[in-house]
Structure 1
């Protein structure tokens, strides 16, 4: 699990743009519009169908505009003719979470291109984008696979190229998925899965879920409640003691995290499940996991805010919570690498806000080590954050922090709101090493 993801969220672990209830599908992305110059009727060039995998073509998206896609896979329609296929496509300028199956009528066959030089095409697409669109893509298209060599990356993308589960039902939400998750083979033909929101068992049919809910006596995650503030609650779940629950959590999370591996050895991890509580029970909002013992000072392995709860500050809360646990342990912490696209943005925002808040209030000189001791943020992360903000100078053989109040205020404004705060007085927790 170690590197399932590390989130989280758009601007915060995984505070991705809101989707249908979200849902998923990330309908908030501003795709590059290329309107077709076509009439309603058209002749299909002979020999063009069925489209080959790798073909580039314009496709009508849910915004009723045409966008460039690449055919990733195809499948024959039941009882159809020799050319009756539907196609799994990737919108070439955007993250894989938008990939989807489309019907032939959504494709503009007059725009078909085969064997396009990808570098030339990428350059051409870049020229069509506004500066804002280019920045948006740069922020969301880092896939988090920096640790893979080229062969491993191709193998990963081939194995996970098609989403196997299109939607899930979890509690009162129906959620579109973003990525492939390696569910057991018997679920490979299920476009939709039904999850019990309390024990996370999953089923193929709604009736199975309804029968299960009549018997399931859980109303919260199967662990110790270590935090309760208002309607927010945090549960610590031991992967060794609750193996089925935590494995199911990993299957669920992988649907929204694009990373190399889903680990099955949950015994070595603790899972921190954030819930919203009401009179029906404690409903999972998101979670993070951490190794019970990490030699690299990792205080977080994977992090996810479920799509229906994104953009509400929960991702920032989860990051802050992981550092409060590090403070309780008397250690510095850092998230496991590589970070996902959204995770990197989230952490940069968190580090920026925490460090600049201290620098604004601190009147005298302060060292990076002192900042690390105060925040439990690893010194390397502090240094990289301040360098990224151009607040570090190298003088006389050592780093010096430049803390002009106007510059700090400008960076703080750019970092955005800090989200929900952790009320440390409500945290009742004993570090794992002391438990054992």
Structure 2
């Protein structure tokens, strides 16, 4: 008979009103200590949970328990080093407060008649472990992490340290820093309990929180973790790591993406995953990195490369996922680095002949990032499809002949501008192909690189050639207007942009490009897009040129 656990149902959590910055918020209390409470605000992400004065919480008498929309649904349990989360359409989060509290264990029915008491339930081993995992990870276990020159407030729980068996496995490896200082309040699990689900997920059922005010020190080069500043300072003097232990796959100025194999650099990838979990909530973290590749974005300084962010992906994904987890350090967020990593993951899929998509579930921040990428990709596509002249060409000069719009700027040279030639201008009064743009701000160390908005769209695609209809109407004053139309399906758009059909459809709906719909003679619904509507969405969404430069990729 499988092992079961007798668990008592906890009372429904009380509802409290908290006044924060002059605004009344609804919250649950997760934990109490001296005159302070740890609260979770309903329908907000767990990274906003915090300790506040108990005097700021006012119980709402007689109010029914609220449904936390971010705590509804089941969490998909993953394999692999899910130390980072990926953005998703269906955002789910753990319950704000554990709905079960352990009262004992039993391998036999708790009641003589084989049924539990009205206020008790019998749970399987796996369900019990999952509930324990939710309880253990309900609040973050470190307040701040010191990494390099940054002191960063953590967002979520991370199961530091490694289990005892894994720590012993790497303790004898020369040149590694596996002899970590014991972190106060963290009890390492035994090999016997290592197989339990909750031990594997959360570092042990007997784990006591170190306290949200505790500090964690992490080396930004090798990601060894320490519990005190003295050990951290000593480690920095002896750490010889100058950059991630992998090969360069992208380099643009001072910024480099390194490919690190989880099987060849297991300890490094495990420690990186643990560090990333401090800022990731959705994915579950395991310690088997063999089937994963890590792509780490760094910024080069005088003698070393410092991490900005990273993403991981499975070497072999039967669902063609091109990204498992992604994380950008908080000091580097909102600077385009996360978008660079997303674009690089899609370029890897394109080069392998696949149509990729991020692994689910997605976090709220991840959803925003991926929605921005999907919308920007579609907008760039529509701009090119609905353009009469080639990209970056603002004028077309023809001497003695009618314009030939089907020829590309590369086919023309200054010598071809004669009685039968056409000439594309770049807006600067000069002939020939458009000049390269100057450097874009925000990418340090960049010299002599062309920041042309290169695209992975295939200009040989029928949507760029035979499927477009150009209609030129002559005006009374001798000028002409050229209109361009094309008919295609959602599948055509997804193929041309290398996006999944469902991702493209979701992005079109979210950005408002599906509002103008018509029914044809056969009763089929058609969506009509105009260049004006595309430009309106581009302005609303602040669509920019791609962060990824194809000529900076170092892969064959």
* TM-score (norm. length: structure 2): 0.57
Structure 1 residue corresponding to 2:537, chosen from 411, 424, 433: 411
Distance 1:260 1:331, change over 3 A: closer
Q: How does 1:17-166 map to 2 (within 5 A)?
A: 54-59=13-18, 61=20, 63=21, 67-75=25-33, 84-104=34-54, 107-108=55-56, 111-113=58-60, 116-119=63-66, 143-145=91-93, 157-166=134-143
Question: Aligned residue for 2:499?
Answer: 377
Measure how far apart 1:319 and its partner are: 0.9
Alpha-carbon shift at residue 420 of structure 1 (Å): 5.8
Alignment-derived partner of residue 193 in structure 1: 216
Task: State the 1:371 CA deviation.
Answer: 3.4
Query: Are positions 1:422 and 2:548 aligned together?
Result: yes
Aligned length, in residue pairs? 348
Please give the secondary structure, in 2, of the residue aligned with 1:266. coil
Aligned-partner Cα distance in 2 for 1:280–1:58? 52
The alpha-carbon distance between structure 1 residues 397 and 192, as it changes in their structure 2 partners (threshold 3 A), is farther
Pairwise CA distance, 1:85: 4.6
Worse-matched range after superposition: 171-180 or 351-360? 351-360
Q: For 1:246-305, what per-residue CA distance to the aligned partner results, in whole angstroms no more than 9, with x for missing partners?
A: 111111111111125112211111111111111142111111111101111111111111
- Tell which has more relative contact order, 1 or 2 (C-alpha 8 A, sep 6+): 1
Cα pair 1:160 1:180 within 8 Å, conserved: yes
Q: Does structure 1 retain, via aligned residues, the 8 Å contact 2:299–2:306?
A: yes
Counterpart residue number, 2:374: 351
Q: Secondary structure at the match of 1:304?
A: strand
2:269 equivalent to 1:252: no
Report the Cα distance in structure 2 between the residues aligned to 1:142 and 1:74, rounded to whole angstroms: 32
Alignment check: 8 A CA contact 1:57 1:108 kept: no
Deviation (angstroms), 1:65: 6.9
Task: Give the distance between the partners of 1:360 and 1:258, measured in 2 at CA.
Answer: 37
| Other-structure match for 1:171 | 148
Structure 2 residue aligned with 1:219: 242
Work out the CA distance in 2 between the residues paired with 1:327 and 1:260: 25
**Structure 1 residues 426 and 260: alpha-carbon distance in aligned structure 2, compared to 1, 3 A threshold:** closer
Structure of greater Rg: 2
Q: Give the CA deviation at 1:358.
A: 1.0
Give distance in 2, aligned partners of 1:337 and 1:361: 31
The correspondence of residues 314-329 of structure 1 with structure 2, limited to 5 A, is 314-329=337-352
Which deviations, in whole Å up to 9, do the C-alpha atoms of 1:134-170 show, x marking residues without a partner?
xxxxx99974359xxx997866542311211111001
Distance 2:349 2:231 in 1: 41
Structure 1 residues 416 and 283: alpha-carbon distance in aligned structure 2, compared to 1, 3 A threshold: same
Change (3 A) 1:154 1:280: same
**423 and 402 in structure 1: CA distance in 2 versus 1, 3 angstrom threshold:** same
For 1:271 and 1:204, the matched residues in 2 are separated by: 26
2:331 to 303, 308, 313: 308
Q: In the TM superposition, what whole-angstrom CA distance separates every residue of 1:182-210 from its partner, at most 9, and x where no partner exists?
A: 11274333711111101111101111111
* Distance (Å, rounded) in 1 between the aligned partners of 2:383 and 2:509: 17
Instruction: Report deviation, 1:402.
Output: 2.5
Structure 1 residues 336 and 414 mapped into 2: Cα distance closer, same or farther (>3 Å)? same
Return 5+ residue gaps in structure 1 as ranges.
1-51, 76-83, 123-138, 431-436
CA contact (8 A) 1:299 1:326 kept: yes
TM-score with structure 1 setting the length: 0.71
CA distance in structure 2 between the aligned counterparts of 1:169 and 1:359, rounded to whole angstroms: 45
**Where do residues 261-300 of structure 1 align in structure 2 (5 Å cutoff)?**
261-300=284-323
> Contact 2:37–2:51 (CA<8 Å) still a contact in 1?
yes
